[in-house]
Every structure is written in C-alpha cells, then in structure tokens.
Structure 1
Amino acid sequence: MSAAQLIQNAWNNQAKWLIVLRPLSWLYRGGFILNKSLYKAGLKQSYTAPVPVMVIGNITVGGSGKTPLLIHLVRYLQNRNVRVGVISRGYGGKGPFPAYVGLDSDADTAGDEPVLIVQSTGVPMAVGPNRQKSIELLLSKHALDLIICDDGLQHWALERQLEWIVLDNNRGLGNEKILPEGYLREPKTRLQGSTVIEHAAQPKMPLNMHLTASAPYLLNEGMVKDFDVNSDFYAVAGIGFPQRFYNTLEKMGIQHFQCHEFPDHFEYEIEDLLFEDSNPIITTEKDAVKILPLLKQNPDFQREIWVVPVDAVLSSACYETLHQQLKQLGIQFDEGLN
C-alpha cells in the first residue's frame, strides 16, 4: 500500500495515530493564513478577469462530486445560450501549459478531469497552473459570458464573483482537522459566505445534489456484449473517494465485484488491468479517459471494460440560486428552457 493510500484510509477511518501529524497541520495552516493575508493586503496581486468567474470547489481532499456538478452546470448553461468556458489546473497533465483542451486531447497532456469535461460537453477549456494565462488563452479563441474554474477555491491569485462549494455528506468533514492530520484544505469556517451545495442522498439543506448512474457502456471499441449485472467484476477505481463508486455498483444491483483501488489521478499501465481470469472490469468515466489510450495501444487486449456514467441531479433551489446569481452579474440567459 502506498503512503497516499495509507493516509487516505486513515482519514476515512479517522485513525487516532493521525495526531502525530498535528505539528505539520499547524505549519500548513500558518502558511495558508499567511498566503491569504498577503493577497488581502495587496502585497500579492490577484488577477481580475474581464468576464465573471465562478469557482466550483471543495474544502476537502478527495472526491466530492465536484466534476459531475460542473459538467451538469455547463450543459445547463449551454442549453440556455450562456457562452461558458472552463479552466482548470489540469492536475496529472504534463502540458506544456497553458494548454487548450479539445475533443482529441489526452489525459497525459491535459489531465483526466479536463478531458472528461470536454468530452462530455464540448465546452471551451484551457488548463494550467497559471489561471490568468488559461483565461487569456480561452478569451483569445472565444467570446464568453462566464468562466467556470474547476477547483481553485484556494487559488487566491484569481478573483472570483461566485463560489460554489460541494460538501459531501458521505464523508463529511472527517475529524475536522487541517491537512495532513485531517483532509480539510481549509477550516470549516470557510463554508461561510459561499454557496454550499450539499451532496447527499437524503439532504438536510435546500441547496443539494446527488449522483445517479446511467447504464454502463463498453469501452472496448468493436466489442459487442450485453451488460450482465450478475457477472463477477473487477472494480477498478483511481478516484478520490472510491467507496462512493462501490456504493453506486451496489445500488445498481451488482453484488459480485472485487475492489482494486489506485491513487487519485493514477496513471495506468496495461499491466494494472491484467488479472488471473477473464472476468470483466468495471470502472468510472474519469478512469476510462486514461484506460482508453491503453486499449488502443494494445489491440489484443480482450477483457471487457465497462464504464459507469454518473449524472448530477440538483434541487430546484440550486437552479433558483444560480438564476439569481447570474442576473446579479448581468448575464443573460433563456429561463424558459427545460
């Protein structure tokens, strides 16, 4: 087990030994507060884009449902004739940056989540650690009404007009400690003053969302098979919170699967997909964007790989809030569309 997986398991289980990391958490918190105060004092300069910026992020490490929410919002805005673009750090991508993400971009260059976002929506997107350069690249190619920043909640170098924070109640805030003693990137007080979207199957807040799975599809090109829910699967997941994926499989009626977890944004090799028998693999869309190139490079690979797509379902209060916020920013949109 890697160090990353070890500490991820400790966070999820709220292991008592994490207290030994408290001095490092103090250092992290001190550095974070210092950096934020430098921006507030004007000693570090923030970039203000010529169009409104909406940040969608979380205050925890690991999956929260942020990417499905972003994809849903992009589609929603596109259907209402809002000219939207997306920027991201492009974590896991090797650049060069800033990089424009097209339908033919690969995860090795741009990162897995940006590739998934563009393949799902066709949205104009640019990635790179310098968000200003990414925005400038986008605006050099497109006239936009709104730019959504994927993650970047703690990126104070970028001014933003809107912040949506996804709070996953499956994980909650853990032990409510800052990294690395806990999985909080910021204190829970950060939730104040932002639009908080509760991710929960049984929500307590009016602003909420949940994920629903669609029918799995085969990743293997040219292979025709019917999905058999009774198969014995290898569940392969390289995401921040794999337990959510396993819960989804169980809700779909899949009872027989063997879990194979990898670190978030894992760079797969074909050897990672080899097992002793020929049982099928089932995985997430985020993992699929990195596995597909391996299948193209290894045409003799015959094991079925099934992909489970998920969609975000938002409460009516989320749309009402979004409409109000867009109007306040002067962004025109078609309200009458379904």
Structure 2
Amino acid sequence: MSMAQRIQDAWNRQASWLIVLRPLAWLYRLGFCLNKSLYAIGLKKVYKAPVPVMVIGNITVGGSGKTPLLIELVKHLQQQGIRVGVISRGYGGHGPFPAIVDQNSTPSEVGDEPCLIVQSTHVPMAVGANRQASIELLLNATQLDLIISDDGLQHWALERQIEWIVLDQNRGLGNEKLLPEGYLREPKSRLQKSTVIQHTRSADSERNMHLGVGEPYLLNSSLQGNWFDVNQYFNAVVGIGFPQRFYQTLKTLGVHQFQAHEFPDHHEYEIEDLIFDSNDAIITTEKDAVKFKQLLEQYPDFSTPIWVIPVKAILSPDCYDLLKQQLQQIGIQFS
C-alpha cells in the first residue's frame, strides 16, 4: 500500500495518529489563507471570463460524486438550449495543455474524468492547469453561454458567478481537520458561503442528490456472449477517491462476493493490474473503464470479462429550480 493510500485509509478511519500531522496542517492553513488574501487584495490577478462561470467542487480530498453531478447538469442545460462548455484540470493527463477534449481523446492525454464527461455528454471541453488558457481555447473553438469548471473551487485566480459544493453525507467531514491531518481542503465554514448539494439518500436538505445504478454492461466487445450474474464472484477493481462508495453500489446491485483491488485516484493502469490469481470476472466503475478500454485496444486478446457499473446523479427538484434561478440572475434564460 502506498503512503497516499495509507493516509487515505487513516482519514477514513479517523486514526488517532493523524494528530502528529497537526503542525503540517497549521502550515497548510497559513499558506492557504495567505494565498487567498493575495487574490482578495489584488496582489494576485483574478481572471474574469467573457461568459459566466459556474464551479462545481468540494472541500474534501477524494470522491464526493462531483463528476456524475456535473454530467447530469450538462445534460439538463443542453436540453434547455443553454450552450454550455466545461473546463477541468485534467488530472492524470500528460498534455500538452491546454487541450480540447473530444471523442478520440485518451485518459493518458487529458485525464480519465474529462474523457468520461465528453463521452457521456459530447459537451465542448478543454483541460489544463491554466484555467484562463483553457477558457480562451474553448471560446475560440465555439460560442458558449456558460462555462462549468469541474473542480477548481480553491482556484482563486478564476472569478466565478455560481459555486456548488458537493458534500458526501456518508463520508462527512472526517475529523474536520485540514490537510494533511484531515482531508479538508478548506475549513468547514466554507460551506456557509456557497450552494451545498448533499449527496445522500436520506438528506435533511431540499438540495440533495444520490446515485442511481444503471444496467451493468460488458466492456470487452469480443465477449458479448457473457451475461451478468450477481451471484458470481468478482474482482472489484477501483481507482477512485472514495472506493467504499463503489462497494456500496455493488451491494445495492446484489453483488456481495468480490475481492477488492484498490488503486490510487487517477491511477495509470497497466495490463498487469488486471491479471489476478483467479479467473473471476472484473467489475469496475465507468471512470476506471475509460482507461481499461484503452488497454483492451492494446491487448485485444485479453479474455477476462470486464463489467462496468454505470451510475447517474439523481437530483432533487429544488436543485433544478435553484439552478434556473441562479442562471436567470446572471442573464441566462432557459428556452
């Protein structure tokens, strides 16, 4: 287990030994506050895009359900006639950046989440660490009414008109400590300054979402004769920020017999990562599947079935009502 995975596990367990990292958390808070202040007083430049920007992010390290939410919002906006585009950091991609993401882009070039977003929505999208450069590249390629920033909540160099924070109620805020003692990127007081979308099936807020599970599908196109059986044994391969959510999804499906194989978020898979002592089928997430698809193209003789579990963000009606209201306030009307 890597050091990053050990710390992630300690965060999830709220291990007592994390207190030894408190001095580093103090330094993190000092650096964070100083950087934010430099933007607030104008010593660091803030970029205002020619079109409104909406940021969807979180204050925690690891998965919160942000990507499914973004995909659902993009589809909803497209249905309403809004010309929406997306920008992202492109974690896991090697560039060159900034880069336009299209159907032919690969996770090694632009990152796994951007590939999943574009494959799911066909939305105009650009990636790169420099958000201004990504926006300018995107606007040079197409006309847009709104840009959604995938993550970037703490990217103070980008002015935004709307902020949504996804909060996974099942995972919560852990020990409520900042990095690296806890998994908070910002103090929990940040939740009072933006729109918070609770990710849970038992929300105490009208603004909530949960993940609906779709029909499993086989990634290996050469093995279409196989059929999905919840009672069979699986190798669950997962490389996301909070793998426990995927295990809960499997149990929701009725899959209880599986061996977990966890990898770091945005892991660059090799074919050896998919070879195990048993010949049991592999079961995985859509985010991981975009990388596996690339591997299957390189190794067409790979014969282990790979089942993919799609999920969809199901939003409460209040989320859509709020979105419409917020967009109208910045001059964007639904058709």
Query: Given the two structures, how large is their TM-score scaled by the length of structure 1?
Result: 0.98
CA distance in 2, matches of 1:27, 1:289: 37
- Equivalent position of 2:175 in the other structure: 175
CA distance in 1, matches of 2:79, 2:306: 32
Aligned structure 1 segments of 4 or more residues deviating by more than 4 angstroms: none
Alpha-carbon displacement from aligned partner over 1:24-81 (angstroms, at most 9, x marks no partner): 0000110000000000000000000000000000000000000000000000000111
**Structure 1 counterpart SS, 2:223:** coil
**Structure 2 counterpart SS, 1:182:** coil
**Structure 1 counterpart SS, 2:132:** helix
Q: Are 1:45 and 2:45 matched, yes or no?
A: yes
Q: Could you tell which deviates more after superposition, 58-67 or 220-229?
A: 220-229
CA distance in 2, matches of 1:258, 1:192: 40
CA distance in 2, matches of 1:299, 1:128: 31
**Structure 1 counterpart SS, 2:255:** coil
> Which amino acid is the alignment partner of residue 242 of structure 1?
P
> Which amino acid is the alignment partner of residue 131 of structure 1?
R
**Structure 2 counterpart SS, 1:55:** strand
- Equivalent position of 1:309 in the other structure: 310
Alpha-carbon displacement from aligned partner over 1:119-165 (angstroms, at most 9, x marks no partner): 00000000000000000000001100000000000000000000000
1:110-149 matches, cutoff 5 A: 110-149=110-149
**Structure 2 counterpart SS, 1:20:** helix
Query: Given the two structures, how large is their TM-score scaled by the length of structure 2?
Result: 0.99
Q: CA RMSD in A?
A: 0.6
- Equivalent position of 1:80 in the other structure: 80
1:157-176 matches, cutoff 5 A: 157-176=157-176
**Structure 2 counterpart SS, 1:265:** coil
Q: How many residues align?
A: 334
CA distance in 1, matches of 2:80, 2:66: 21
Q: Could you tell which deviates more after superposition, 292-301 or 44-53?
A: 292-301
CA distance in 2, matches of 1:170, 1:277: 32
Cα deviation, residue 332, structure 1: 1.8
CA distance in 2, matches of 1:278, 1:171: 33
> Which amino acid is the alignment partner of residue 124 of structure 1?
P
CA distance in 2, matches of 1:300, 1:208: 43
> Which amino acid is the alignment partner of residue 175 of structure 1?
N
- Equivalent position of 1:231 in the other structure: 232
Alpha-carbon displacement from aligned partner over 1:207-233 (angstroms, at most 9, x marks no partner): 000001101101102221211111100
> Which amino acid is the alignment partner of residue 295 of structure 1?
L
Q: Are 1:249 and 2:250 matched, yes or no?
A: yes
Alpha-carbon displacement from aligned partner over 1:87-119 (angstroms, at most 9, x marks no partner): 000011000000000011000000000000000
CA distance in 1, matches of 2:277, 2:165: 42
Cα deviation, residue 206, structure 1: 0.7
- Equivalent position of 1:68 in the other structure: 68
Cα deviation, residue 277, structure 1: 2.2
CA distance in 2, matches of 1:316, 1:160: 24
CA distance in 2, matches of 1:37, 1:56: 22
**Can you give the 5+ residue segments of structure 1 that lack an aligned partner in the other structure?**
none
- Equivalent position of 2:289 in the other structure: 288
